[in-house]
Structure 1
Amino acid sequence: MTAKALMQFIVEPLKPLRNFTFTKLYFSQIASLLGDSFTWLGLALLTYEINPKNSAAVLASALTLRVSAYIFFSPFAGVMSEKIERKKILITTQCARMIIVCMLPFITKEWQIYGLIFALNVFAAFFTPTYRAIIPQIVEKTIYREANGLSMATFQLLSVFGPAIAGIAAVWLGAKQIFLVNGCLLLIAIIPLLLIPAASLQKGMIMSNKSSKTTGSEIIKSIKLLFGNRIIRFALSIEFISAIAGAMVLVNSVGLVKTSLKLDDTHYGWIMSAFGLGAALSAFLLGSLDKSKTRSISLISGALIIGLSISIANFVPYQGLILLWILAGIGQTLADMPSETLIGENIHPEDQGKVYGAHFAFSHLWWAIAYPIVGMIGIHFPERDFLYGGLLTLGVALVTIIIFQSFGKKNYQS
């Protein structure tokens, strides 16, 4: 590969930034995601301050409430994004989140944590599907996959480096003050949204006649559209497989590093950073690598890569684990990211908002199902947890691939 070709390969994923509307949304996303890192690190410190003996249980409950808010409210959010001006949804939800995080430094009781965290993520459940539904409408079809990839790569990178930045800020400012930093970051995130004309965010949308349809019927329609398209249904099935493997990494890596390998927190941090960097790298390049209609190569290879990577994790030294976790991160992005792109490419623009909402709910439901499964594997098979988790991942992947290949040889559309 020549230097010019290599440079073009690297620069191609950045093409969406030529679209000024997308660029404003993108920088708003950066500020918002960085702020989220401050909130969750601050929450961990705050729960320990309020109840040192029960901080883990409080934090776990808060995270459960977070997922629950996504599962129950995202379908409603998707429908609302087609009935209410999208700019209003984005700005209102960001303002509400800013107010809530600025209230967190002043709480003193566990129930206050639960209430505010649930409310915070209800608004996040309305913001995210709306944001994702806008992207395929504002960028050209030729660069939509790159736009989606850039957005997801940023999410992965900030999930790695965001907590580190927040940790440094906590040392200088204190645990409670970093919530106010998030408030400032959310305010910064609102500014680019204010600069975008409302009409630019309404492309592909027809607001009339929406009021004649009930919210319940629209939610049912969104689920039918999500599972009714064979291409998207296969992608969603692979996402469930990826959730099992990803949950293994998130839940059981700490035991693998600190108990089995007898290493410290620093080594654990590097391991998880390797996972995040692998995911970010593949998200950045995926749009340029797989341009097929069904993305089946990406989906299948992703499920197999992450399944194989975790299957041998119990049998390698620390250096080998770093390499495996980079591969696992790559595999998870290959398995997860295509579904959002496929919705933008296969669902009519008028229905994309509700379908993104349904997808956001079901993708988090998969994780809610996967967490207890991998937790039980870790409890009952501590020395072989990743082996059995990997075999489960690969087994479900093979069954899924066989089923879809058997019933879909002629076409991918139901």
Structure 2
Amino acid sequence: MIEILRYPSFRSLFLAQVIALVGTGLATVALALLAYDLAGDQAGAVLGTALAIKMTVYVLLSPVAAALIPRTRRKVVLIALDLVRAGVALCLPFVTEIWQVYLLIALLQSASACFTPLFQSLIPEILPEERDYTRALSLSRLAYDLESLLSPLLAAALLTVINFHGLFAGTSLGFVLSALLVLGTRFPAVVDARTGGSPYARAIRGMRIYLQTPRLRGLLALNLVAAAGGAMVFVNTVVIVRTVLGGGDREVAWALAAFGGGSMFVALLLPKLLDRVPDRRVMLTAAIAMVISLSATAVLWLGSGDRIGWPVLIPAWLLLGMAYAGLVTPGGRLLRRSAVSDDLPFLFAAQFSLSHVCWLLAYPLAGWVGAKMGLGTALVALALLSMLGCATAVLTWPKQDPSSVPHRHEDLPPDHPHLAEHAKADNGEHEHPYMIDEIHERWPR
């Protein structure tokens, strides 16, 4: 997997991603501690609201932003977005009211909602070969896991010499370094091929492709499973460690690192595994593991009278991290199989937006239910949410999911160029890699 870094453009973008995500990870730890500082044992509700704001911004902005930004201007826009995020991060240490947290999170995540789909859409253009792209996805997944593994470890070390407000400075520095690396990256030469239609129409194109493709509807359901487990960890770890276990800032960082460690372990195994095992089997296995892990933790929590200890928390968070990586890492492969190159930016934006609808459900459920009804109840609610997602994925994503699908076009004239190229049978039936586009508007039955 590491050999994929021999491509200079991907190497620079990957380093930019790593550095920005380390900074984001520091901000995640600092934000949790800031919420506890401002709200005490109600920190879960504050974090749930802040992260719900983040998800709302992602859902609303990311598809339109990707449609508005020309492919030939992505470099300038990515640099500008990094600098905006750096400036907002510098403001976070000075907040004194909860509403200020919400406002700055909305500004910070508005920039991220534009940045991430643009970044993701570059990878298949830089690495057009399936094998290389698969390894790049796993390496990129590892970079995301730095936010939940190495960043908390670094935060734990930094918190021995500075208070948590200083972590926001590290976030800002990460975004500045990311901008410099993007500036030095050679982007693939492209011509902006989008013609006609409003930005809204171009954004809807990605949504239409996504929701008309069975494997991607299954992916959306699996995103709900991943969100259920991730929300419990990201929202309630600080409350569990500080209130239930009596730990401090560094212990919060170590608990988050357990989740990231499990995720990184699985992400390292996935490239070779996905060469031999279908994506569907890997992802559904991870979904079942997530359901079992959440359910078992809920039973242990309620059975202990809301007084679990470290021997339960660390293994539970480790298993949730392992299941999480198995759910989210292969997703990019499914997207790449499901659209032509010109539509990939819209499809990545649709995935970014629709997957965050799942997080928009899970974050308030974890935060508000945990604050009002207890963390054990929140675990039960999230376990039920993960069961719903897992069952929906099994029903939605067909067992047989070939790239090429036999089909006919009843609405095309016999002399249409598409039929002239592909149709061999007298009834017009033909087979080729099937993707939703202007000619193929619906998936064949």
Question: What's the offset of the Cα at 1:391?
Answer: 5.3
CA contact (8 A) 2:365 2:382 kept: no
Task: Give 5+ residue unaligned stretches, structure 1.
Answer: 1-12
Paired amino acid for 2:346: K
Q: Provide the rounded CA distance (Å) in 1 between the counterparts of 2:278 and 2:165.
A: 47
Task: Give 5+ residue unaligned stretches, structure 2.
Answer: 302-308, 406-433, 436-442
Q: Provide the rounded CA distance (Å) in 1 between the counterparts of 2:7 and 2:117.
A: 20
What SS does the aligned partner of 1:371 have?
Answer: helix
CA contact (8 A) 2:4 2:135 kept: yes
Match of 2:355 in 1: 363
Deviations 1:217-274 (A, max 9, x none): 11111100111222222122111123223334445566777888x6745776554432
Q: Provide the rounded CA distance (Å) in 1 between the counterparts of 2:144 and 2:167.
A: 20
Paired amino acid for 2:353: A
Question: What's the offset of the Cα at 1:25?
Answer: 0.5
Q: Provide the rounded CA distance (Å) in 2 between the counterparts of 1:106 and 1:256.
A: 26
The 5-angstrom pairing of residues 11-410 of structure 1 reads 13-44=1-32, 59-106=47-94, 110-139=98-127, 140-198=129-187, 200=188, 202=189, 205-210=190-195, 212-251=196-235, 264=247, 270-291=254-275, 295-313=279-297, 314-315=299-300, 318-319=310-311, 322-374=314-366, 386=379, 389-390=382-383, 393-394=386-387, 396-405=389-398
Deviations 1:4-41 (A, max 9, x none): xxxxxxxxx21211111111001111111111123334
Paired amino acid for 1:207: D
Q: 1:377 to 1:120 in 2, by over 3 A?
A: closer
What SS does the aligned partner of 2:275 have?
Answer: coil
Deviations 1:181-211 (A, max 9, x none): 332222221222111224x2x4xx431453x
Q: Provide the rounded CA distance (Å) in 1 between the counterparts of 2:171 and 2:295.
A: 38
- Identify, as 1 or 2, the structure richer in helix: 1
Paired amino acid for 2:82: Q
What SS does the aligned partner of 2:191 have?
Answer: coil
CA contact (8 A) 2:45 2:367 kept: no
What SS does the aligned partner of 2:147 have?
Answer: helix
Question: What's the offset of the Cα at 1:80?
Answer: 3.0
CA contact (8 A) 1:47 1:59 kept: yes
Out of 175-184 and 119-128, give the one that drifted further.
175-184
Out of 123-132 and 57-66, give the one that drifted further.
57-66
Query: What is the percentage of aligned positions where both structures have the same residue?
Result: 25
Q: Provide the rounded CA distance (Å) in 2 between the counterparts of 1:69 and 1:332.
A: 23
Q: Provide the rounded CA distance (Å) in 2 between the counterparts of 1:255 and 1:56.
A: 6
Q: 1:368 to 1:292 in 2, by over 3 A?
A: farther
Q: 1:381 to 1:37 in 2, by over 3 A?
A: closer
Q: 1:345 to 1:249 in 2, by over 3 A?
A: same
What SS does the aligned partner of 2:149 have?
Answer: helix
CA contact (8 A) 1:153 1:281 kept: no
Q: Provide the rounded CA distance (Å) in 1 between the counterparts of 2:367 and 2:34.
A: 25
Deviations 1:139-198 (A, max 9, x none): 232211111111111211332221342354355344444433332222221222111224
Q: Provide the rounded CA distance (Å) in 1 between the counterparts of 2:331 and 2:205.
A: 18
Question: What's the offset of the Cα at 1:389?
Answer: 4.4
Q: 1:376 to 1:36 in 2, by over 3 A?
A: closer
Q: 1:292 to 1:191 in 2, by over 3 A?
A: same
Paired amino acid for 2:225: I
Tell me which structure has the larger Cα radius of gyration: 2
CA contact (8 A) 1:239 1:336 kept: yes
Question: What's the offset of the Cα at 1:213?
Answer: 2.1
| Coordinate RMSD, CA, aligned | 3.5
Q: Provide the rounded CA distance (Å) in 2 between the counterparts of 1:227 and 1:190.
A: 34
Q: Provide the rounded CA distance (Å) in 2 between the counterparts of 1:49 and 1:308.
A: 33
CA contact (8 A) 1:377 1:389 kept: no
Q: Provide the rounded CA distance (Å) in 1 between the counterparts of 2:133 and 2:289.
A: 25
Q: Provide the rounded CA distance (Å) in 2 between the counterparts of 1:185 and 1:380.
A: 38
CA contact (8 A) 1:28 1:190 kept: yes
Q: How many residues were matched structurally? A: 396
Question: What's the offset of the Cα at 1:343?
Answer: 1.0
CA contact (8 A) 1:15 1:143 kept: no
CA contact (8 A) 1:77 1:354 kept: no
Q: 1:269 to 1:239 in 2, by over 3 A?
A: same
Give the alignment's TM-score, normalised by structure 2. 0.77
Question: What's the offset of the Cα at 1:381?
Answer: 7.4
CA contact (8 A) 1:154 1:280 kept: no
Q: Provide the rounded CA distance (Å) in 1 between the counterparts of 2:269 and 2:283.
A: 15
Paired amino acid for 2:280: S
Q: 1:294 to 1:377 in 2, by over 3 A?
A: farther
Q: Provide the rounded CA distance (Å) in 1 between the counterparts of 2:380 and 2:36.
A: 33
